Amino acid sequence: MAFCTDTVSRVWTVVNPPAVPKVEKPTKFGILGAAAIAPSALIQPARSHPEVVIYAVAARNLNKANSYAKKHGIPKVYGGPNGYQELLDDPEVEVIYNPLPNGLHYEWTMKALTAGKHVLLEKPAANTAEETRQMFELAEQKNLILLEAFHYRLHGSRFHPAIQHVKAILDSGELGAIKSLAVTLAVSKGTFSPATDIRFNYDLGGGALMDMGCYTMSCSRYLMCANPTSVLSTTHEVYPPSPKVDRRTVAMLAFPQDVTATITCDLAVPLSLGFVPTLPQISVKVEAEKGTLDMLNFIVPTMYHSISISPRQENAASRKRMVKAYQFTDVGMEDKGDKPWWSTYRYQLEAFVDRVKGRTPQTWIEKDDSIANMEWIERVYEKTGLGSRPRSTFTPP
């Protein structure tokens, strides 16, 4: 009973966080595009951040921008064909949130940085590793903060307690050396509408590996503390109307020390019995010398997650258990003032604002990490034969 009420209360508060009083001069964010993800990833989290206000939104269509702004209480609106650039040119705006389709990340991040704004950039960083490198180099040159929004790994000044706890167990040696990993992110057919959703549009940087595979790649590299050494094999299924768009990709990656990782991503798992949607599959499975570890829901752990540790019988240094880590204190860590209803996006915002304000979060997604993630996504695409997503035609001034 307590489990049910805690879960309902936590999930309700993620979506309806308490609004806190703002500091005298909060940092003003502007959003490029009236994107579906912005309320969860930025607008709701900003309510409980005293140093952040969502000041402006721009959409290609002014009516759409107006109704989005009204719905979310955003005071300043830009719309029409020049709306995005007008938002970038607004001197009040200090930070740009870029949730445009993947294929537009590069162009509008380069423009935002050129306009002197910090950028919180949606994942995956761009369509290619080279574009990713250029964005980070420009940010460095201009002394601006640029973060690829891998929210599942950013939790305030530390990693998310859940994924951090998984990593801490693996790093402790309790289960011995990792032998293999399987990281999966797959949702049922019907979750997205292929005819209209950006995820199925090759020109906009679509594909399962781009959208979901970027997390599975990132998580494998994070848990292994290493980049793969090669792509051993791949299988994929395309979305037939768009033959370069992978609806599903499975890749087997080699990592140092003879570890293999299987990453699986699917934008439209077929319905069971032809009509029943399947539950989302969001899992990490680790096979180690002295036991196994399974984590459910590494992407949105605030909603619900579980971490199961199953040592082999002969492993006397370990015990079988199931752990949850909604807050640092759940796993014996120092109280950082975080709340169980802080979503990964709320913690991400905390870390991002720390950096913008010149404070130092203990963890960060570094430039090289973002570049390497994109590089290995491209290598998997190369192995599938589908090739990288198209390079941007935008030329920086």
213 binds, among ligand NDP, ligand LJPVP2WV, none (CB under 5 to 8 A by kind): none
Give the sign of the dihedral formed by CA 343, CA 344, CA 345, CA 348.
Answer: positive
Nearer to ligand LJPVP2WV, 28 or 199 (CB): 199
For residue 128, state whether it binds ligand NDP (rule: CB under 6 A): no
| Pairing state between β 306-311 and 259-269 | unpaired
For residue 72, state whether it binds ligand NDP (rule: CB under 6 A): no
Encoded one letter per residue, x for contact with ligand NDP by CB under 6 A and - for no contact, window 194-233 reads ----x-----x------x----------------------
386 binds, among ligand LJPVP2WV, ligand NDP, none (CB under 5 to 8 A by kind): none
Catalytic residue flag (residue 367): no
Among the listed residues 111, 123, 244, 383, the single catalytic one is 123
151 binds, among ligand NDP, ligand LJPVP2WV, none (CB under 5 to 8 A by kind): ligand NDP
100 binds, among ligand LJPVP2WV, ligand NDP, none (CB under 5 to 8 A by kind): ligand NDP
In this chain, which residue has its C-beta nearest to ligand NDP? 33
How far from 5 is each of 2, 16, 196, 312, 366, CA to CA, in Å?
Answer: 5, 16, 37, 34, 38
The rounded distance, in Å, linking the Cα atoms of 137 and 126 is 14
Smallest gap from Cβ 123 to ligand NDP, in A, equals 6
The rounded distance, in Å, linking the Cα atoms of 220 and 284 is 9
| Pairing state between β 321-323 and 259-269 | unpaired
Least Cα distance to 2 among 111, 10, 103 occurs for: 10
For residue 210, state whether it binds ligand LJPVP2WV (rule: CB under 6 A): no
For residue 369, state whether it binds ligand LJPVP2WV (rule: CB under 6 A): no
| Pairing state between β 291-296 and 230-239 | unpaired
43 binds, among ligand LJPVP2WV, ligand NDP, none (CB under 5 to 8 A by kind): none
278-317 residues in contact with ligand LJPVP2WV (CB under 6 A) are 299
Encoded one letter per residue, x for contact with ligand NDP by CB under 6 A and - for no contact, window 34-63 reads xxxx---x-----------------xx---
For residue 96, state whether it binds ligand NDP (rule: CB under 6 A): no
Least Cα distance to 123 among 153, 99, 104 occurs for: 99
| Region from 27-35, 128-136, 178-186, 304-312 binding ligand NDP, contact rule CB under 6 A | 27-35
Nearer to ligand NDP, 99 or 228 (CB): 99
Whether the CB-CB separation of 260 and 253 falls below 8 Å is answered with yes
Question: Which alpha helices (H) appear in 231-277, and where do they start and end?
Answer: none
Residue 171 phi, psi (nearest 5): -70, -25
| Pairing state between β 230-239 and 242-255 | antiparallel
Per 3-state DSSP, the chain is made up of helix, strand and coil in percentages (nearest 5) of 35, 25, 40
DSSP state, residue 285:
E
| Pairing state between β 52-59 and 259-269 | unpaired
Q: How many residues bind ligand LJPVP2WV (CB under 6 A)?
A: 4
For residue 365, state whether it binds ligand NDP (rule: CB under 6 A): no
Encoded one letter per residue, x for contact with ligand NDP by CB under 6 A and - for no contact, window 130-169 reads -------------------x-x------------------
Nearer to ligand LJPVP2WV, 107 or 211 (CB): 211
41 binds, among ligand LJPVP2WV, ligand NDP, none (CB under 5 to 8 A by kind): ligand NDP
Q: Which of 74, 77, 100, 187 binds ligand LJPVP2WV (CB under 6 A)?
A: 187
Whether the CB-CB separation of 348 and 151 falls below 8 Å is answered with yes
Q: Is 276 helix (H, G, I), strand (E, B) or coil?
A: strand
209 binds, among ligand LJPVP2WV, ligand NDP, none (CB under 5 to 8 A by kind): none
Half-sphere exposure at residue 229, Cβ-oriented, CA atoms within 13 angstroms: 7
Taking each helix axis as running N to C, give the angle between helix 129-141 and helix 102-114, from 0 to 180 degrees, rounded to the nearest 10: 20
Least Cα distance to 30 among 91, 81, 82 occurs for: 91
Structure-block tokens of residue 364:
């960060």
For residue 15, state whether it binds ligand NDP (rule: CB under 6 A): no
Q: Which residues bind ligand NDP (CB under 6 A)?
A: 33-37, 41, 59-60, 64, 99-102, 104, 122-123, 149, 151, 198, 204, 211
Positions annotated as catalytic residues are 123
